[in-house]
Structure 1
Amino acid sequence: MAMVGQTQAAKSKEDLAMQRFVRMRARMQRLSDSKFFAGWVCEMSHQRAVIDCTDESPCVSSDDVFVTVMGPQQGLAFRGRVALVHNSRIYIDLHGPLRTVPGTEESRIRVTDLNALVLVGDTEIEATAMDVSPKGIGLRSPISVENGASVRVSILSPGHTIQATGEVRYCKPDADAPGSFRLGVQLNDMDRVSRARWTQMLSLQAA
């Protein structure tokens, strides 16, 4: 009985540790055809992962998948089987051990309630931040912006504004919001104060 209790306590501790991967970017590979899909981690435990997929209906129940979750300091990799697909959410039962993998600076965190102003030439765009990373920000914009355009971004973080300059790396129609566009902006330069605020905000979002 003592051994069972210790095992359950260890798994509970492991589940708590894995909560740091919630809202992180995930990449899934369907093993039957090696096709890749992307999504965001909604729930994570040693038994099951729930991923909100950005691709329309990529999997069906019983599909075997390999998943990599990209955290900033440490990532997570595991194999599993799709137990349920409901709307955009994929419920995956984990099979086999969880492996830690090196983190990446490109790790992205899903965010809510974060707005931004984007200045492109003389045009100011009110945008919504969708995800953030150490070197970039994903935005939802009401208008299209040319790839490669230089922009100035004011990120309206609670309590202060973060100023940065950057470059639009991609712009594509937003499948989740018809008439809007998803922008990927590489942040190239911030002053010392904005850099400190950005680093602090990333730490709070990842907590």
Structure 2
Amino acid sequence: MPDVRPSEKEIAALNAQLEGLRSACERPMRCTLCRTRTKFVFGEGNPAARLMFVGEGPGEQEDLSGRPFVGPAGQLLDKVLESVGFARSDVYITNVVKCRPPGNRTPTDQEMAECGPILLEQIRIIRPKLIGMLGNVAKSFFLGKTAPGITRCQGQFFDWKDGIQLQALYHPSFLLRNQQRTVGSPKWQTWQSMKELRRRYDALAPGGMLAAPPPATEPGQQSLF
């Protein structure tokens, strides 16, 4: 199905909006995590992406570089994307919190509440149609803490506001700790989920509305990252 691509002028306008948001939020603020960070990690990728991935927060290497998902988990995420034909430049990648929690601990509710408006504004500017929620923190941000844990809802899709569909996915760091590739393993589950995500992405009708996913087809060579 043909896609409607934004013009260069529209892309430039979206980039300008995102850079304006980045500049406004990068300044020293009174939020909790700003006090201990090295660099503010805003996000990166296609400003007109139909698909967005949201993780938990920056790790040590992200804190040093100012870029999301550049450490081992990010390298695995690249392989996950490549397994279904995506490049990082096709999608937009960010986190719920934009500054590294000390010791890579889980962000607190207060920290998520402080950073959450930045993420929501990114979504408003980019206007994705699909969002991959990477791990429990991202899942809880979008669906609330009463939603099933990631091991129970991995791969499931949820309707969100403005016609956006959310998919629950394991965080790449979890996959690094679970290297099995057998049927039913976390990597196997992620592979199945990414194929369905790709089918839904390909079924996006012109204008960005979701059409019915095409029939499932198994590729000739399976990839488990």
Q: Give TM-score scaled by structure 2 length.
A: 0.28
Greater per-residue strand proportion: 1
**Bigger-Rg structure (1/2):** 1
